[in-house]
Amino acid sequence: MRWQRALGARAVRVWVPWSGERAPSGARRDELARAEQAARRTSVVLAVFGFARSTPSTPRGRARYCGYARRVLDLVPDARAIVVWNEANSPTYWHGTPSTYAALLARCYDELHRRGLTVLDSTASAHEPERFLERVGEAYRKSGRTRPLVDAFGHNPYPASDDEPPAATHARGFLGIGDYARLARVIRSSFGRPYDVWYLEDGYQSSVPRPLARRYSGRENVGVVAPSVQARRLADAIALAACQHGVRAFFNFELVDETRLAGWQSGLVWRGVHRKPAARAFARAARSAASGCGTRP
Per-residue pLDDT of 158-209, as tens digits, reads: 999 999 999 999 999 999 999 999 999 999 999 999 999 999 999 999 999 9
Answer yes or no: is pLDDT of 1 > 70.
no
Average pLDDT along the chain:
95
Task: Note the pTM of the prediction, 2 decimals.
Answer: 0.96
Distance between CA atoms of residues 287 and 7, nearest Å: 9
Rg of the chain in Å (alpha carbons)? 19
Distance between CA atoms of residues 70 and 109, nearest Å: 10
186: burial class by Cβ within 10 Å (0-12, 13-18, 19+)? buried
Is residue 296 very low, low, confident or very high in pLDDT (cuts 50, 70, 90)? low
Distance between CA atoms of residues 59 and 57, nearest Å: 7
Distance between CA atoms of residues 216 and 235, nearest Å: 26
Percent of the chain whose pLDDT exceeds 70: 99
153 with 83: CB under 8 angstroms? no
Map out the domains of the chain with their CATH numbers.
2-202 (3.20.20.80)
Distance between CA atoms of residues 87 and 95, nearest Å: 11
166: burial class by Cβ within 10 Å (0-12, 13-18, 19+)? buried
132 with 191: CB under 8 angstroms? no
- Look up residue 126 and give its amino acid: A
φ, ψ (nearest 5 deg) of residue 231: -60, -45
Q: What is the pLDDT of residue 105?
A: 98
Distance between CA atoms of residues 257 and 254, nearest Å: 7
Q: What is the pLDDT of residue 295?
A: 63
First to last CA, the chain: 23
Average pLDDT, stretch 53-67? 98
Residue 230's CB: how many other CB atoms inside 10 A?
26
Digit-coded pLDDT (tens) for 104-155: 999 999 999 999 999 999 999 999 999 999 999 999 999 999 999 999 999 9
Start-end of H helices in 144-260: 180-191, 227-242
φ, ψ (nearest 5 deg) of residue 107: -60, -45
Is residue 297 very low, low, confident or very high in pLDDT (cuts 50, 70, 90)? low
Answer yes or no: is pLDDT of 243 > 70.
yes
Buried b or exposed e, range 22-44, using 16+ CB within 10 angstroms: eebeeebeebbeebeebbeeebb
Distance between CA atoms of residues 44 and 38, nearest Å: 7
Distance between CA atoms of residues 199 and 75, nearest Å: 25
DSSP state of 49: E
